[in-house]
């Protein structure tokens, strides 16, 4: 369980929130504190008050993968193989094991043909897949995605949903503006004015959001 208690930072004011294993979608209006919340969960930002614990441990003592909304801000190296390998090299994993794990990761992501491509030649969607491959290769306990699906069409977004399901990562927290994607998760957290207005399963949360811009189109149409 990820336990959020008394979390206060900038606009955030969350008294108590529990996040279960699985895929949790964080939604809400612009300026509601979504990115700040994700950064606190990932350990990138230390809140001014309160705690976030991942199975009883601080995020900074937990293996965490992070994918930014803008893939170019994630990427450090020139080629796909070097970028995906970088988390393992920083941990001083042997060259042979690193090469093997990179090849397996690229196959898992469905992008083995990109292995030797320069990053600058990739599309936005391909860069997201590379950033996600790098975030997953060190087998994090928590994966945090900040609107990484904003550059993807529906087909590729569905692919990433499937990859997240089979990645073996216990906790995935993602911020998204795509309500159809949010509805496919296990839990939804709706933030407004820095507070967790609703939290629960997608049917529970979206029932409270009927008639708003955050209600999935498929539910409006009864699909």
pLDDT at 223: 55
CA distance 147 to 67: 9
**pTM score of the predicted model:** 0.91
CA distance 193 to 208: 17
Residue 27 has phi, psi (to 5 degrees) of: -130, 170
pLDDT at 145: 94
Sheet of 2-9, strands arranged across: 12-19, 2-9, 49-54
Contact of 6 with 51, CB cutoff 8 Å: yes
CA distance 71 to 26: 19
pLDDT digits (tens, 9 = 90+) for 170-193: 999 999 988 988 998 999 999 999
Architecture of the domain defined by 1-63+140-223: 3-Layer(aba) Sandwich (3.40)
Contact of 180 with 216, CB cutoff 8 Å: yes
Residues of CATH 3.40.50.300 domain(s) within the chain? 1-63+140-223
């Amino acid at each position: 369980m990820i336990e959020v208690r008394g979390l206060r930072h900038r606009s955030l004011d969350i008294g108590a929130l529990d996040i279960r294993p699985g895929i949790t979608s964080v939604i809400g209006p612009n300026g509601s504190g979504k990115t700040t919340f994700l950064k606190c969960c990932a350990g990138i930002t230390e809140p001014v008050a309160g705690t976030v614990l991942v199975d009883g441990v601080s995020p900074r003592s937990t293996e965490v993968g992070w994918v930014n909304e803008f893939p170019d801000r994630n990427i450090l190296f020139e080629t796909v193989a070097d970028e995906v390998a970088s988390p393992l090299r920083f941990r001083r994993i042997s060259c042979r094991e690193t090469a093997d794990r990179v090849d397996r990761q690229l196959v898992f992501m469905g992008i083995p043909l990109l292995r030797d491509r320069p990053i600058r030649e990739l599309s936005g969607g391909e860069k997201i897949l590379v950033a996600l491959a790098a975030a997953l290769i060190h087998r994090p306990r928590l994966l945090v995605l900040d609107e990484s699906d904003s550059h993807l069409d529906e087909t590729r977004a569905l692919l990433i949903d499937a990859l997240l399901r089979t990645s073996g990562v216990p906790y995935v927290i993602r911020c998204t503006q795509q309500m159809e994607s949010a509805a496919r998760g296990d839990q939804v957290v709706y933030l407004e004015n820095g507070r967790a207005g609703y939290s629960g399963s997608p049917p529970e949360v979206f029932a409270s959001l009927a008639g708003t811009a955050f209600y999935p189109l498929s539910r409006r149409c009864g699909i």
